Amino acid sequence: MGPFLKIQRLGRALMLPIAVLPVAGLLLRLGQPDVFNIKMIADAGGAIFDNLPLLFTIGVAVGFAKDNNGVAGLAGAIGYLVEIAVMKDINDKLNMDVLSGIVAGIVAGLLYNRYKDIKLPDYLAFFGGKRFVPIVTGVVCLMLGIAFGYVWQPVQGVIDFAGHWLTTAGALGAFVFGVLNRLLLVTGLHHILNSLTWFVFGTFTPPGGAPVTGDLHRFFAGDPTAGTFMTGFFPVMMFGLPAACLAMFHEAPKERRAVVGGLLFSMALTSFLTGVTEPIEFSCMFLAPVLYVIHVLLTGLSLAVCSALGIHLGFTFSAGAIDYVLNYGLSTRGWWAIPNGLVYMVVYYGLFRFFIRKFNMATPGREPASADEQTDASTAGGFAVPAAGAALPRAQRYIAALGGAANLSVVDACTTHLRLSLMESNKVSENELKTIGAHGGLKRGSTDVQVIIGPEADIIADEIRTVIAQGGDAAAAAPVAAAKAPAAMVAQRLRQCRLRP
């Protein structure tokens, strides 16, 4: 695995600890005086935010472990505790915050992959295998703690400088972050940028409490200036991108609107409610890149406008309606997000329709039909023929559509899409992937392929890895091949019936 893929893997691993934040935010909000005023509930949510570095350690370690084994998480926790204890003994002014947890997690995950099956001499056999991983992780993190204790001070100075500029640059800093956040989406590296901005940059000390860092953590700690790097996403995700879906629907040929309407409506509703936007963004990114560039610039502009207007909103998961309602009570001028969003709805709808029509862009429903689609027997005569292998488990169907288990070298996933490394990308059947339920795919190179699925992407990736580990590839290939002939025969019969008087 190359360095770039390892960085992508870090982005995916960061999603595991980030996924617990909605629970923390919900508990923290429900316990506040302006909601239920129950201190123990607020403290329960606060405890998660107070231990973010440890949570990131465990999440990243498990995410890096090849089989997501919990031993890697235990090793990461041990390594993190050792690392920060040693650093504080050398220089108690050092504060790596979640970065210390991320480093310890990466170390634990990589060491787990290397030493989980290690054999020791008989008199030390008890400490072999997975039991060896926490031991070696502790030793390595001891050395890292010593190294960081002496070299981290200047690094911390650079990070503090970058964070200070970003958090004090006002609308310009918000614009830069918004643009970079969306540009890095295709690589998965936006999670790393988010982690620095939301959990590291900026410091706030609540009354009677300990200092907290990061835009997200500061917002929930009561910092009235926090939310600069979250607020602008609400007009985009709740209003702009759903309007883009409506524009793509209206620009689809009338005879294909029924086919793409359900897909576009589902993506729009998901974006509005939860702020999960990747299916829409990847559809634009791969089918009409110009539209994605427009979206990137509009996102940066939205963050800049919200910053200039002094609007401060926050979220624990994403900028959807659910987070907006839950966290509105902590916002400053939060109601302004609604009129901003309505303006963005008009802007997105107008720009998307104009560019789609002007440049004949291949948005959903407007893609040129492939040869396979033109001769596809599954819709002959208006009758639906069961898809090949439809009775198979979906993981086996995905494996077959991706060219078989032997064609898959790396199976990974991000929030809404599979990230795959293949032996030969030309063996992928995009039509079959769409039949299974995928929203689309992209061949980014000779071996790298991404398949847009939706929120179930990580679950499906696990299912695919499990089937491959159990040798399920052969079981997938045979029924799919066997089903093609009957499907063709049914189509032929339907054509004959249609020609009869």
Active-site residue list: 414
Six-digit token string for 158: 């650079």
Helices 254-274 and 241-251: angle between axes, nearest 10 degrees: 170
| CA quadruple 478, 481, 484, 485: dihedral, nearest 10 | -90
Q: What is the H or E stretch that residue 411 is in?
A: strand 408-413
Distance CA 313, CA 233 (A): 9
Say how many Å lie between the first and final Cα of the chain, rounded. Answer: 62
Are the CB atoms for 199 and 214 separated by under 8 Å? Answer: yes
Task: Say which residue the tokens 């310009």 belong to.
Answer: 172
How do strand 212-213 and strand 203-204 relate by DSSP bridges? antiparallel
DSSP-derived 3-state class of residue 234: helix
Are the CB atoms for 84 and 93 separated by under 8 Å? Answer: no
DSSP assignment of 94-155, as one string? Answer: ---THHHHHHHHHHHHHHHHHHTT----GGGGGG-GGGHHHHHHHHHHHHHHHHHHHHHHHH
Write the DSSP symbol of residue 174.
H
